Amino acid sequence: MRAIVFHENGGPEVLRLEEVPDPEPADGEVLVHVDAAGVNHVDLTLRAGGAEPPAIPGVDAAGWLGAEERETRSQRVLVTSARGTYAELAAVPEDCVFSLPETVSAAVAAALGVPYRTAWWSLVELGGLEPGQRVLVQAGSSATGQAAVDIARARGCTVYATASTGKLGRLGGLGAEPLGYDDPRLAGLEVDVVFDPVGGETFERSLAALAAGGRLVTPGAVGDRRVAFDVWELVRRRAQLLGTGSAPVDRDTVTRLIDLAAHGELTPVIDRELPLEQAAEAHRAIEARETFGKVILRP
């Protein structure tokens, strides 16, 4: 089969398309024919040094069970939190596989994995976001940020989101009030929950945007991981800081996300779909902050 492999850690250029042996599923695993693979920030981290080479990157995908062309519609699946999905075939744990209805395309399904699990876990499960509340999403144009906007909008919340100047118009089209990262209005938003995956200077502005008793939730920092803020602002607002880490693969949550997408209540934004051999370009575009929403690879 064809797969993307890196034999050393480094930049996007270490990603190479190669012919490799078909994977052999172990006990508790199934073989999935990959139709679409989602590109996530975690893939970039693993490539840069978070995984020991040689390795096939990718943790999200959509496709069907088995190595051959699917014969029945019931074989369509979503895969999330697996390993080695930048390939034509992947052997993945059964616990990471979810049935996929025909109403959800492969590209949309591949976009639902890590970003939407992270956003749901951060906003709803940990952040306690209730329908009708107010939420600020930092970096709303990223795949995870767009997922957070989408989930908050679907729950009937008032949504504010930040992005670079060139992306603000598209944010408005998603149903969010677009704001620049340094917009002075951030300090007066009085939101119930802030989702901040950026870090750096953004973090202090996130804290200033909170209402009394608000929650600032972060899954990590794609920007500067070092932050500074006035502790007395945290105390005065009686705010909570919550670090989420990796979202668990909760079957009820993933099934709910699939169902919401099937009924048109969640609509992931696909920035671009690239052939598998352009995986390096996908990583480069994400690192250069050129994308809006999700990048998909097609084996």
Is it the case that residue 48 has pLDDT exceeding 90? yes
Length of the chain: 299
Is it the case that residue 67 has pLDDT exceeding 80? no
Residue whose C-alpha is closest to residue 221's, from 204, 196, 194, 193: 196
Sign of CA dihedral 34, 96, 42, 134: positive
What whole-number percentage of the chain has pLDDT above 90?
A: 86
Model pLDDT for residues 31-44, shown as the tens digit of each residue: 999 999 999 999 99
pTM: 0.93
Angstrom distance (rounded) from CA 236 to CA 239 = 8
Contact between 88 and 17 under an 8 Å Cβ cutoff? The reply is: no
Contact between 1 and 85 under an 8 Å Cβ cutoff? The reply is: no
pLDDT of residue 207: 94
Is it the case that residue 93 has pLDDT exceeding 90? yes
Could you check whether the bond before residue 275 is cis, i.e. omega within 30 degrees of 0? Answer: no
Question: What are the angstrom distances between the C-alpha of 271 and each of 76, 143, 263, 293?
Answer: 23, 9, 21, 5
Walk me through the domains of the chain, giving residue ranges and CATH numbers.
2-100+269-298 (3.90.180.10), 115-243 (3.40.50.720)
Model pLDDT for residues 130-144, shown as the tens digit of each residue: 999 999 999 999 999
Tell me which residue has tokens 């978070």: 50
Model pLDDT for residues 98-127, shown as the tens digit of each residue: 999 999 999 999 999 999 999 999 999 999
Q: 220: pLDDT confidence band, cut at 50, 70 and 90?
A: confident
